[in-house]
Chain A
Amino acid sequence: EAGVAQSPRYKIIEKRQSVAFWCNPISGHATLYWYQQILGQGPKLLIQFQNNGVVDDSQLPKDRFSAERLKGVDSTLKIQPAKLEDSAVYLCASSSRGIRGTHEQYFGPGTRLTVT
């Protein structure tokens, strides 16, 4: 079974530029998550999708971050304009469980973003 795929793996941009990350979850997984992991910290949830609907985006800085999950499969996360403090690893995860019950999340390798 293929895992969660993310691209690009690395990205370096200047502040105020825009950037987009792509995620392809495990086939059949209805729930998709985007996390931000700043160096030295644990992952922090940015947004959660159930199929193509948003379940939780309360910690997404909506003035600069946006995400979509068209057709309930692939997802893109965009930052525009980027700030220095956005430098982090952006992790995508997927889960087969619905919004109730315990669940195991499978993580992709992440995209390491450096904003200069």
Chain B
Amino acid sequence: TQLLEQSPQFLSIQEGENLTVYCNSSSVFSSLQWYRQEPGEGPVLLVTVVTGGEVKKLKRLTFQFGDARKDSSLHITAAQPGDTGLYLCAGPAGTALIFGKGTTLSVSS
């Protein structure tokens, strides 16, 4: 059974700090996706990484896919209150997705 483990589960930081969240698995994935979910809303796709070692940047967010395609990380530089939310990683399972439990990020001003 494929599982995605995310850490940390909760993160509370001040505006301007940097942070990294992790997504790990014992299984190889053909791709991994990162979603952000705000309270009362559905998850919104941030990025898809498909190549081992790939690094993608989205403004202040940097996503990396591990060389062995078993793990991924999300780094946020100079976090802002608008970054607050639940960050989920997801990988393909057949033609659907399996999700990690997520990292709840709170950024206070």
A109 adjacent to B95 (CB under 8 Å): no
* B102 surroundings in chain A (CB, below 8 A): 41-42
Interface residues as binary, A85-113 with B (CB distance below 8 Å gives 1, 0 otherwise): 00000010100000110111111111010
Q: How far, in angstroms, from A4 to B41 measured CA to CA in the complex? A: 11
Known: A40-B101, A42-B100. A100 touches B41 (CB 8 A): no
Contact of B90 among A42, A50, A108 (CB under 8 A): A42
Known: A42-B88, A42-B100, A102-B31. A55 touches B45 (CB 8 A): no
* A13 surroundings in chain B (CB, below 8 A): none
B50 adjacent to A44 (CB under 8 Å): no
B99 adjacent to A44 (CB under 8 Å): yes
Q: Is B58 an interface residue (CB 8 A)?
A: no
What is the size, in residues, of chain B's interface with A at 8 Å between Cβ atoms?
25
Q: How far, in angstroms, from A106 to B98 measured CA to CA in the complex? A: 15
Q: Is B8 an interface residue (CB 8 A)?
A: no
Q: How far, in angstroms, from A40 to B37 measured CA to CA in the complex? A: 12
Q: Is A14 an interface residue (CB 8 A)?
A: no
Q: How far, in angstroms, from A17 to B45 measured CA to CA in the complex? A: 35
* B44 surroundings in chain A (CB, below 8 A): 107
* A109 surroundings in chain B (CB, below 8 A): 40-42
Q: Is B24 an interface residue (CB 8 A)?
A: no
A108 adjacent to B99 (CB under 8 Å): no
A105 adjacent to B97 (CB under 8 Å): yes
Closest A residue to B6 by beta carbon equals: A42
From residue 52 to 75 of chain A, which have CB atoms closer than 8 A to chain B? 55-56
Report B's interface with A, CB cutoff 8 A.
4, 30-31, 33, 40-45, 48, 50, 88, 90, 92-102
Chain A to chain B contacts (Cβ below 8 Å), 22 pairs: A4-B42, A40-B101, A42-B88, A42-B99, A42-B101, A42-B102, A43-B97, A44-B99, A45-B96, A45-B97, A48-B95, A55-B95, A56-B94, A56-B95, A91-B42, A102-B92, A104-B45, A104-B48, A105-B45, A106-B45, A107-B43, A107-B44
